[in-house]
Structure 1
């Protein structure tokens, strides 16, 4: 059952990046090309998330000199800043990211057509490694998000003192994340509404982080694997006696190396 579920994430058009591209599209980091409803919807959600981050900064003003609440706020606010920065830069450089993923997909498909057993073993190893990284990182991120969302509820049911303090007004409700809302979040109705907004933001932030990070890691793993494949090809250039075939092999290794250097250098100059 679990394997069947994971197989749904595969895409024959993207043998390596299939699950990562689907994750990017699901969380709206890879926007549809056409000006469709979904493109507008994702832009709207990203904008709302940016506004939510602002409410976390506003909440700092109302916290005042309460150091415990300030530290709690800063933990989520710093993570929100990192997440929003990733999304903004990814959307701003969307064309560059798509070019890189197009190159990775093309080079990966070319490598998979090779009949050399040693190269095919390298491909199998790095594909399996990328899948493990992606799935385990997703599991870690979504589990963390679920734990953050469930923490206030578990705190409520596990501590009778906390419940009594909330009822008599000596203690405020424990929030999912610290943020400002334009209503009283220390009343039950306002608290539930605020918790719903905060839970959605936490879930979406987790989706942003998981899709962005795993995509970047898989691309870097591929760069390393491509170097291994080129090295292996170079070691076998002179295994034949045909001079024309030797020249073709040299040209192919040179071409793949130049293209790899082009995109690696482009990433360093553009993103770092």
Structure 2
């Protein structure tokens, strides 16, 4: 995976190189070539149709709670993937503007000779690569488990294998979905499994490219706020090397411009992400509840392990978003300290007035939201976990009566 990331590096995009290439590979950033564009749109339509068949299958398994829960666990995640891609394609120009801004602002800061800023930029870039590698690994591990789960269960569970042979049990599907042919026969089951595996792989590619790109952009906003704070503290130079009034005014204007631009694109980013995160919270609550219930009700140790990994993936998805949004929030709160760390007391009244105006502008908090109802913070994540546990308790008690 590290070698793959190195090959995906782009000198023109030192921060978002691997993420942008992933977006292009999975067809979120549509190519200019008309034939390739329609090819990717066709792939998107096929996965969307497949997601609809997952809902259709609920009607045929409505009398079996375990099958319904297993279906919902995958279907709701697939629905989120479809909505992510649909909104990304619909707001494609907005996402391109955000990506170009991140690249432009990142390149502008990498030309600095400031040791402290260089350390921060290097640290942020390495962290982005680590979080991208971690998320990709977690996602594709989940996809592999989902695809090979029927094989694992068939060879590792003797009772299930015997039940399938004598006809008292059916083949476990890769993903619960409806198909217009008989899945109980070997040919029909294999064809359905192939289509389900394709949807799982492509849906996994959607999730990894979209989520990792959004997470790296959040890391960028935090780093940009911290870099802006450093520049504000150095606005008037040092006691041993003070700068002229002209240079100080130029630095102040640059800090103002950068903050205005940061606010503009952070709000645009939030506008593109917020509707997704609102539904994401609801879906994760249900998904975590269902998965936790399946772990406690499952008797097979292997099945419990596979379901636990899926639970870890679901928790990690939501936690990473809330954690990075929380970081951006606290970095924006600390930004106003930057001007006060400068040599403001060393300058005349006109500079102090300008600095006061700049500090007032810095009071605008940057934080990402989940719709109009709540902010993406660690506190929100804990509330969702508590809610999911409450749903799980209610579901468990209803089954024991």
> Could you tell me the TM-score, scaled by structure 2's length?
0.66
Task: Output aligned runs, 1:177-256, within 5 Å.
Answer: 177-239=175-237, 240-256=242-258
Cα distance in 1 for residues equivalent to 2:133 and 2:225 = 25
Cα distance in 1 for residues equivalent to 2:204 and 2:3 = 24
Cα distance in 2 for residues equivalent to 1:85 and 1:22 = 21
Q: CA RMSD in A?
A: 1.2
Structure 1, unaligned runs of 5 or more: none
2:81 to 60, 80, 83: 83
Cα distance in 1 for residues equivalent to 2:186 and 2:224 = 56
Deviation of the 1:4 alpha carbon: 3.8
Count of residues in correspondence between the two structures: 270
Bigger relative CO (Cα 8 Å, ≥ 6 apart): 1
Q: Does 1:165 pair with 2:163?
A: yes
Q: Does 1:264 pair with 2:266?
A: yes
1:184-205, Cα deviation, whole Å (9 max, x unpaired): 1111111111111111111111
> Could you tell me the TM-score, scaled by structure 1's length?
0.96
Q: What residue number does 2:69 align with?
A: 71
Deviation of the 1:86 alpha carbon: 0.6
Label 1:225 to 1:94 Cα distance change in 2 as closer, same or farther (>3 A). same
Q: What residue number does 1:8 align with?
A: 7
Deviation of the 1:270 alpha carbon: 4.5
Cα distance in 2 for residues equivalent to 1:27 and 1:120 = 33
1:98-138, Cα deviation, whole Å (9 max, x unpaired): 00000000000000011111111110011011110001100
Q: What residue number does 2:45 align with?
A: 47
Deviation of the 1:64 alpha carbon: 2.9
Cα distance in 2 for residues equivalent to 1:250 and 1:103 = 21
Deviation of the 1:163 alpha carbon: 2.1
Q: What residue number does 2:277 align with?
A: none
The answer to whether the 8 A contact 2:2-2:133 is kept is no
1:202-240, Cα deviation, whole Å (9 max, x unpaired): 111111111111100110110110011111001011113
Between stretches 258-267 and 159-168, larger displacement belongs to 159-168
Deviation of the 1:61 alpha carbon: 1.2
Structure 2, unaligned runs of 5 or more: 275-401
Cα distance in 1 for residues equivalent to 2:188 and 2:210 = 33
Task: Output aligned runs, 1:142-161, within 5 Å.
Answer: 142-161=140-159
Between stretches 108-117 and 155-164, larger displacement belongs to 155-164
Q: What residue number does 2:17 align with?
A: 18
